[in-house]
Amino acid sequence: MTRRRRMFDIDVPAEEVISPQSEVDASNRRGPMATAVRENAEALRARQAVEDRIRVENDALAHEHVRLKKAGLILDMIPTQLIDSTKLVRDRSSAPDESLDELKASIMAIGLSNPIRVEKKADGRYELIQGSRRLRAFAELEAENGDGRFSHIPAGYVAAGDALATSYRRMVDENLVRKDISFAEMAALARAYVADEGTDCEDIDKAVATLFRSAGYQKRSYIRAFVELLDMLGEALAHPEAIGRNLGLELRRRLDGNPAAVARVKSLLTGAPGRTADQETALLRGFIDAVEPARPRAPVSKSGRRAKTSLRIASARGEFRCLAANGRLDLRGPSDFADVDPRRLEAAVSELIAALGLDRPDDG
């Protein structure tokens, strides 16, 4: 009987379960090259994050710089030799300025408290927008001292590319708040604005309205009156800035529509070469006094009161009636005067008072 061979059983161990921690341990056992690659990637990501943050901060700073520059709040010390005054016709007369010495003394003592404003040009130079007297004071101080202290002037930047009318308004509005700028200087600026080829203004009324928008209607009417005065006398006036408001308005009224009177005033002025401002205004006052007729007294009634004067004036709207009496002037007509713009009404009444010569003290 054949004996069957016995087979041996082989015990195979159960499959080992690898825990997550074992996988982490395995990853930590990577080679040096893999570790270096991983660390380099992490460093690049950190560097990129820093660069992104810096870029955002720089963009914010750049936008803030542009905003401050447009607002004229960015200041710099600019060489006075690099500043031009050719873009704008200045609203200041070139006549000697006695108050400039006071400004220079103040700058010497405490420095310049109000920087000028300039516009940077493509050629690296600068165009003056505001501050002609301050720039002139620095130039004179540098010429007098020559030590370099006044070779640079504090300046704020205005945005390049501003419309010409905007640049004129910046200059004019700054000087409107000052009491020493004369009506003749403002009138001269309005005339120059019309003559400037860089503007699209061909009408003096539009020029006055554009440049002196911040001024009231009454003041603009005075400026227009001085424009007419400058048109009539022109270069015969050596010191137009010295002419006061009342003198200028009266002079314009006397000369308007009277070529012979204009010729007479010009003859008076040209006959006094080298005259001072006071001498010129004395000549103009003398002309007015010479042609001023004695104002006749209104007839007096038996009761001792002045008689009334009644006028009828025809117009396209109908008839207006004017009644003048002692201390009283009434105007009636087919219009509602309450609908008239108060500023226009005020200007018209002021011109009427000036035209009647009632704005001067009664010396009789």
**Span 276-281, average pLDDT:** 92
Whether the per-residue pLDDT at 322 is higher than 60: the answer is yes
Whether the per-residue pLDDT at 231 is higher than 90: the answer is yes
Partners of residue 84 on adjacent β-strands: 127
Whether the per-residue pLDDT at 336 is higher than 60: the answer is yes
The model's pLDDT over 125-153, given as tens digits with 9 standing for 90+, comes to 988 888 888 888 899 999 998 888 899 99
Q: Is the pTM here over 0.75, yes or no? A: no
Query: For residue 95, what pLDDT is reported?
Result: 58
Query: For residue 18, what pLDDT is reported?
Result: 52
**Span 301-328, average pLDDT:** 71
**Span 284-302, average pLDDT:** 64
Could you tell me which of 307, 231, 285, 305 has the C-alpha nearest to residue 262? 231
Whether the per-residue pLDDT at 225 is higher than 90: the answer is yes
Q: 281 falls in which pLDDT band (50, 70, 90)?
A: very high
Query: For residue 297, what pLDDT is reported?
Result: 46
The model's pLDDT over 114-129, given as tens digits with 9 standing for 90+, comes to 888 888 888 889 888 8
Whether the per-residue pLDDT at 246 is higher than 80: the answer is yes
**Span 199-225, average pLDDT:** 86
Query: For residue 292, what pLDDT is reported?
Result: 57
**Span 314-335, average pLDDT:** 79
- Regarding predicted confidence, which is higher, 276 or 359? 276
**Span 181-199, average pLDDT:** 87
